[in-house]
Each structure stands twice: as C-alpha cells, then as structure tokens.
Structure 1
Amino acid sequence: MKEFRAQLLGAEKEIEGEMNVLSQRRRKHLSTIIIAVGCVGIALLVVSLVLVASGYCFPGRRERKKNDEALQHENGKQQDMRTAESLQFDLGTLETATNKFSEDNKLGEGGFGAVFKGTLINGQEIAVKRLSKSSGQGVQEFKNEVVLVAKLQHRNLVRLLGFCLEGEETLLVYENVANKSLDYFLFEHKKREQLDWLSRTMIIEGIARGILYLHEDSRLRVIHRDLKASNILLDSNMNPKISDFGMARMFGVDDQTEGNTKRIVGTYGYMAPEYAMEGLYSVKSDVFSFGVLLLEIIMGRRNFLGFHRTNCGPTLIGYAWQLWNETKGLELMDPLLKDSCSPNEFLRYIHIGLSCVQEDANNRPTMSSIVHMLNSEAISLSRPEKPAFFTGRYVDHHDQVRAQDCSANGFTISIDVPR
C-alpha cells in the first residue's frame, strides 16, 4: 500500500508538472494572440482616424465641409457687394463736379456715350462717362462687372474709380488723364510734331505692357477687343493708358484664351480677320490690333478700312508690307521722325508690326514675346508672311479715314466662365 501510494503521489506530481508546462504554453500563446489583435486594432484605429480627417468615413463631415465652402463663397459675394457699394457715387456729387454735364466740360463722345471732365470737392479731377440709356444689362450684373474692372491696376491702364446708377443715369467714373487720346496727337500734322521717336517708342512699349498685363498678369485674363488710337489716353508725361473696356471679355479660367460670338463689336481697321469674319476672338486678336496701332504710330497715318476689297487700294498694312518686302521700308517713316530716329530701329519696328498682323492668328507672336522684341535688339525676328487685309479702299485724299464704330451702346463687359 505504501508503495502504491508513493507511485500515485509521483504520478500526481508528474501530471501537475505537465499541467504547469501546458498552462505556461497557453499563456504564451494567448499573449501572442492578444498582441496580434492589439496591433490590428491599432492599425484599424489609425485608418479610421485618417478617414475621419479626410471626410470619407462620416457623411456629416462632408456636409460640414460643403457648408464651410458655401459660407466662404457667400462671404466672398458679400465682400464684393461691400466693394461695389464703396465704389458708388451719388448723382448729385457728379452733377456738381461736372457742372451738370455742361458742354464746356465735355471731353469727347464715342459709341458708348459722352465723357465729361469733373472736379470733386476734395480737388480730385475725374472723367465721367455718361453711358447711353439703351444698355439692357441688369443692375447687379453691372455692379459685379464694375467691381472686376476696378480691380485691374496697372500704370498703363486708366483706373476706374467707381460708378453711379440713379434714376435713368448710368455713369462710370475714371481718373482724369491730363492729355487727350493718342489719335488727337497722331493724326494732325502740327500736334504730331510733339511726338518724336523716343516719345512714340515709349507709347508703343507702354501699350504693349498694358496689354500683356491684361493677357497674362491680371487676376482674370482680359481680351480688350477694341484697341485703337482713340482708346489710348496720354497723361501729363505722355505715358499711354489703355481705356474703354466696354467691349472686353474676361475669362475666369487660366488656360482659356479664346471665345466665339455672333455679335461682332469693335472698330473696322483694327479688327483681326478671324474676329471680323467668324466672330472668333482671342489674345491674338488683341495682338493684331496692337500691330495696326504700332504701324500707325511710327508712320503717322491711319489704317484704311480693313476688309473692303473694292477699288483695290492697299491698306496701310498692305502698303507697309509692299515697301518692306521690296527693301524700301524707310520710305514708310513719318518725315517728322527723320532727325530723331535710327533707320535700323525703325525697320525693326516695322518688322514687329507686320509680324503682329499676320492673317493666321497662330503665326502672330504673344504679347510677352512682343515686349521682349521691343526691349532687346538681340532677339532675332522671323520673317512675316503676307498680312491680312492687304487691300482696301481709299476714302479721301489725306488717308484720314474715320474709324467706324460698329458696336452697340452700353457697358457690356462679359465674364466667360465655362460651367
């Protein structure tokens, strides 16, 4: 019996030992499982946090994000409204400033209405454009567009100070520019004597910089569509300022550079062929108008009407091409420039002008390229092809063709933003 009990006790101890070993193994295995599960849980938690932060896990987060964006948009609209209100002039103030739009204060008149010089109570001189009453644009749209134009700030652009919408009056208020428009000096012999070669090149370069700002450097891409001598104003130092954005198109998309319209507006003689014939406008249509302006400035003559092919008289563009192509380009020089102009520099400017008026818009340079061409003689110029509107018609014996404005009245700056 004692022996049996001793064997039984030994067996119990052996079994207990094995149980202890098994227990230790289970605990170790369980710890491994717990650690693995814990790692997976932490990974899932991290992923969940990332998803929540990104707004993908809970729809409510996306809704809050949309609400925040909508609130920011609404705040932006309210800010624009406050800006519009800050630009609004009282009619009585403008009537007092212009002596009730007296004829003595009238600076000129164009297709959009008459312009009057005025002086505010604080002594600031202004130019008030009294727009035609035939504009069909809504009040809110008008205000929005005024705000956009007022944000265009460049030394070679006329600055818009504000507007007035009161009763039947629709008025635009600009900074007053001391001298009149470029055509006032350019197309009258005695006044043109004030424009030597240095003055003319300064005017050309200033216009180029202003257009470059509109095309590439402003908040929105702007196509002017009515660049001409009468829309270039000159300050007291004869620095040019581009004015009259009544036909401009603004694009809200960085890579959009062209548009199409069935309503052709602008001035014959300055219109690019693709716009005049097909309603296609782009930054290159402004380049064409700039080329016409450049040739007019250095030759001291107006371009003839651009696309009348009767009587077969060459346009100013055609005449310039013909003589330049025959290496007689110096015959194009305004006689008043002979004492102040380098022949080689004159021929280079003719070359640049002809490059701008190519019939194919793709062959015309960009305004950034033109600015570089004007500022550096080291840049080589490619040979231009025969320009658009080579022939036209003569209107009188002095080549003084009055630019015919075919635009409708009204302030019609349009914002083209694809939906």
Structure 2
Amino acid sequence: MRSGPGPAHDRRAVSGLLRGIYLPRSADAGALAMATYGIPLLVLATTGSAALTGLAFVLEWIPRLVAFALAGTMVDRYGTTVVFRLASAARALVALAAALVLPAQTHGSGATVTVMVLAASTGTLTQFSYIAAETAGAAASREAGESAHRVQSVLLGIDQVATLAGPALAGLLLQWTGAAGMLAALACFSLLGAALAPKQPPQPPPAGPLPVVRGLRTGWATLRSLPALAWLVTGLTVSNLAVGLLQAAAPVIVVTELGHSSADVGLVWSAAAVTSLLAVALCRTAIGRYGLWPVGAVSALIAASACLAVATAHSYTTYLTMIAVLMAGEGGMTVVLRTLRSRLIPPEKFAGTLSLTILLLLLPFPLAGLLVAVTPPRLLGHVITGCAVIQAVGLATAFARLRVQPAVRAASS
C-alpha cells in the first residue's frame, strides 16, 4: 500500500504540464522572440535609419505597457484559454497581412508606416498572450508546492530556448527570404499557440464593464503589502533600463558600427540565450541548496559587471561575449523573481498583480528606445556606460534590502 503519489501519478502530472502549460508556452515564446528581436531588424533593413529603429522599439513597447492592465483584468474575468487563443490568432493575422503588403512597398513612406504599425500591433497582442501564459504557469507552480522553482525553471528554460532560436531564425530568414519569410514564420508560431492554448477552467461571463483601474489598484496594494517582492521588482526595473538600451541598440551597433549582418545580430541574442539556459539550470539546483537571496545576489553581480564591460567592447566577439554573460545574470535573477512571485502573490489577485509587476519592469524599455533614437551611433557607448552605473547602484540597493526580508528567508527554506 502506498502512502503518497506513485510513478503513475507523476507521469500524469508531467503529461498534464507538458500539454497544458509547456507546449503552448513554447509556441508563444517562439512568436514573442521573433517579434521582439526580429521586428527592429526588419525596421532597420526596411528604412536604413538608426533613429527609426529606436522609434520602432518605442512603438513596440508603449502599446505593450498600455495593454498590460487590460490584459490582466481580461485574464481574471475570461480565463487564460480564451485570452491566449484570441491574442495568438490575431497576431497571426497581423503578421500574415504585413507579409503580403511589405514586398510591394520596397520604397517610400508606405513601408515605414507598415513596419511601425506592425511593431505596435504585435507588441500589444503579444502581451495578452504572455499574461495568459504566465497566469497558467503560476497556477501550475502553486500546485507543485515545494517544487515551484522547478516549474518556473522549466518555463524560463522554454523562454530562453525561444530566445536562442528566435533571434537567429529571424535574422537568417530576413537575410535569405526577406520580410515575407520572417513574418510567415512568426504567423506559424502564433497559429500553433492558438491551437495549443492552455486548458484552464472557463470563467463565468462578465456582469459589467472590465474594472481595469480597480485591477491596477488591487495589484498596487498587493505589491505594497509584499516588501520583498516590491524591492526585487524595483531593482530589476532599474536594471532593465540598461538591458532595454542594449536590446534597442543591438541592430545599430552590430550592423552600423561593427559592420556585421542582420544574422549576426540574431547570433548575439542566441549566444546570450545559451548562457542564460546554463544559468537557469544552475539556479534550479542552487536555489534548493543555498536559497533565493544568495543566488539572486550573485546573479546581480554578474549582470552588473558584464553590463559595465559592454560599453568598452570594440569588437563583435567581445560584444557578443559580454552580452551573453549579462543575460546569464539576468536569467538567474528572473528565476528568483518568478519563484518569489508565484509563492507570495495570493491566487485570487495574481493576474492583476502580475500585470502591474510586469508593467513596472518594462517601463524602461520605451525610454531605452528613445535614447537610441536621439543618440548618434558613435555616442551610444557613453550612454550604455551611464545606464550600467545606474543598474549597478539599483541592484546593489535592492539586494541589500532583500537580505533582511523575512519572506525571502521563508521562501528559501
């Protein structure tokens, strides 16, 4: 007679996670990676302008930020399945429409308008599917109990595999098949996500208007009641100004300043994903052995040191290496964030609070795009150095505060 779950139960649990969480997350992560890293490359290839590339980054991120509050409220009201499926299908339609329109607009303002609208619309729709996928993943983490960090490590690993393949695939497709090939691949990932939408219990139909503002207020009140999570989000928000700047500036630095191809831009982020995957694998074991704070603090030190070194990189190899080390540190901190978030936020307030935390984390990205748009390419190194210093100070302050938080010690035990 068994006193607990046996191998058959474990196999069913793994199978349920694979079909209900991991597969739809994989499809959505592939679409997200191609949109995030491929569209700025598409803008640079279409317009040839560093300023417009930075502006496209802004247009890609501002609608995402606006969409977060509504996305969290819709997930709370309608459920993850409906929101995920509709957002993925709409993104596929947008990508296919752009793939048909762009080849006929090789010159003039029509192509510029098309890629800018594409950046804004895919950015918005991606956040609806992302919030739905994150909410489903958090529910799976809560069900996993003490193994929550393992579920979150798998989810982060899926994201990093997508980041490994997505930028390289986008760059190669753009170089060899043009915009149509890259956008067709983005549409395929989106359609696959719509077909595999995570299966969650249906929600009752809404009785009134969506309380978006109330959802934000609830999320803000919840975040303020969790100082450990609030300090971690604050530190990562400051850090993301440097990360966003490097992401927005990558096409300009690699193509314009270092003289490499769009495929080489994708290779930078693919190499970064490899090191991030290794970091996630190490953190998965290290958190169980050493706790959340030591793993997060070491990851923060690695990220800040690498970001300071990026500004001095004068060759493609050095630049690629430093970006890879930086993203390894970011990967470790993200595991800590996701584990703490899934353990501390009450289930009934999760989607709204998740939306607020991600909104705060991504606020620096439009600012980073503006910095790239207004900074001459030859001066980007100085701006990166300044942002790296701000990142180091922000992370040091946040983790100093986190060290004395009881919630961090409890989550580490």
Question: What TM-score do you get using the length of structure 2 for normalisation?
Answer: 0.23
Write 1 or 2 for the structure with the bigger share of helix.
2
Write 1 or 2 for the structure with the bigger share of strand.
1
Larger Rg belongs to: 1
Question: What TM-score do you get using the length of structure 1 for normalisation?
Answer: 0.22
